[in-house]
């Protein structure tokens, strides 16, 4: 059984060191605990140890977990991280406050049509590594995509998300993170309506320190908190 509290203390310490090395405030970095395959009892331990942001990859897996915990822990923000099919959008909007994996105009339109009065916060997923096996928009398509959806009244674009390449050396992810940071800087200059690049969601267990050094303020950590997936 993993020691969730100790693992979180270690991760927060590493986040703090990485941020300080980059001349940044560690409190700027939002830690998302990724709970794919993690049982409810371990998620609850993480919440009790201070976790307030939780990410899940699949609607059908997340639903019973969120239903079990949401009433008891109403201050937890749930993030949809995995690829979202259009036929799951209604369920996803009922469960998640933020959808981090919007990667097509068709998906954005489906979200827009669900007409949540408070609006829907999304991040745009970008395939910065250009790997065929990954979801996400090509970097050179993102600006045109944002221009198209910036007039959608129910969608608030809050940032960009990417997944670094799978590699033994964490440094292999740095070019992907640099690409996302530079793209975010370009987008900010456009001052598009309903688009505020508040978050750069990049960095996971193996490469989050590299991501922080390149401007990430939202890291998604699973294995380093909960151990190897079951």
Alpha helices (H) along 102-207: 105-112, 142-149, 174-190
The count of C-alpha atoms lying within 13 angstroms of the C-alpha of 125, restricted to the half-sphere facing its C-beta, is 22
The dihedrals phi and psi of 158, each to the nearest 5 degrees, come to -105, -5
For helices 40-48 and 4-21, give the axis angle rounded to 10 degrees.
50
Q: How many CB atoms lie within 10 A of CB 63?
A: 15
How large is the average pLDDT for residues 59-66?
Answer: 98
The count of C-alpha atoms lying within 13 angstroms of the C-alpha of 143, restricted to the half-sphere facing its C-beta, is 11
- Taking the C-alpha atoms of residue 150 and residue 93, their distance in angstroms, rounded to an integer, is 19
Q: Residues 98-143: pLDDT tens digits?
A: 999 999 999 999 999 886 656 679 999 999 998 888 999 999 999 9
- So what's the pLDDT on residue 184? 98
Q: What is the largest CA-CA distance in the chain?
A: 49
Q: How many CB atoms lie within 10 A of CB 181?
A: 19
- pTM, rounded to two decimals: 0.95
Q: Backbone dihedral region of 2: left (phi > 0), alpha (psi from -120 to 50 degrees) or beta?
A: beta
For a pLDDT cut of 70, what percent of the chain falls above it? 97
Closest CA to 99 of 135, 139, 141, 143: 135
- So what's the pLDDT on residue 16? 98
Q: Residues 164-202: pLDDT tens digits?
A: 998 889 999 999 999 999 999 999 999 999 999 999 999
Structure tokens at 151: 């007039």
Q: How many CB atoms lie within 10 A of CB 155?
A: 23
- So what's the pLDDT on residue 167? 85
- So what's the pLDDT on residue 119? 67
- Taking the C-alpha atoms of residue 45 and residue 9, their distance in angstroms, rounded to an integer, is 13
CATH 1.20.1250.20 fits 4-226, yes or no: no
For a pLDDT cut of 90, what percent of the chain falls above it? 89
């Amino acid at each position: 059984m993993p020691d969730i509290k100790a693992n979180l203390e270690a991760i927060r310490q590493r986040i703090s060191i990485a941020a300080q090395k980059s001349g940044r405030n560690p409190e700027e970095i939002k830690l998302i605990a990724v709970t794919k395959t993690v049982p409810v009892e371990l998620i609850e331990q993480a919440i009790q140890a201070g976790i307030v942001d939780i990410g899940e990859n699949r609607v059908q897996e997340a639903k019973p977990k969120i239903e079990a915990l949401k009433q008891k822990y109403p201050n937890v923000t749930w993030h949809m991280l995995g690829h979202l099919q259009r036929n799951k959008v209604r369920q996803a909007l009922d469960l998640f406050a933020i959808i981090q994996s919007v990667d097509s105009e068709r998906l954005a339109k489906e979200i827009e049509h669900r007409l949540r009065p408070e609006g829907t916060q999304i991040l745009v997923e970008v395939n910065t590594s250009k790997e065929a096996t990954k979801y996400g928009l090509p970097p050179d398509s993102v600006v045109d995509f944002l221009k198209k959806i910036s007039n959608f009244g129910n969608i608030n674009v809050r940032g960009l998300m990417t997944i670094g390449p799978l590699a033994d050396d964490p440094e292999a992810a740095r070019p992907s993170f640099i690409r996302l940071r530079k793209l975010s800087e370009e987008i900010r200059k456009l001052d598009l309506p309903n688009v505020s690049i508040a978050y750069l969601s990049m960095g996971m267990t193996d490469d989050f320190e590299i991501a922080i050094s390149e401007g990430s303020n939202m890291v998604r950590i699973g294995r380093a908190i909960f151990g190897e997936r079951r």
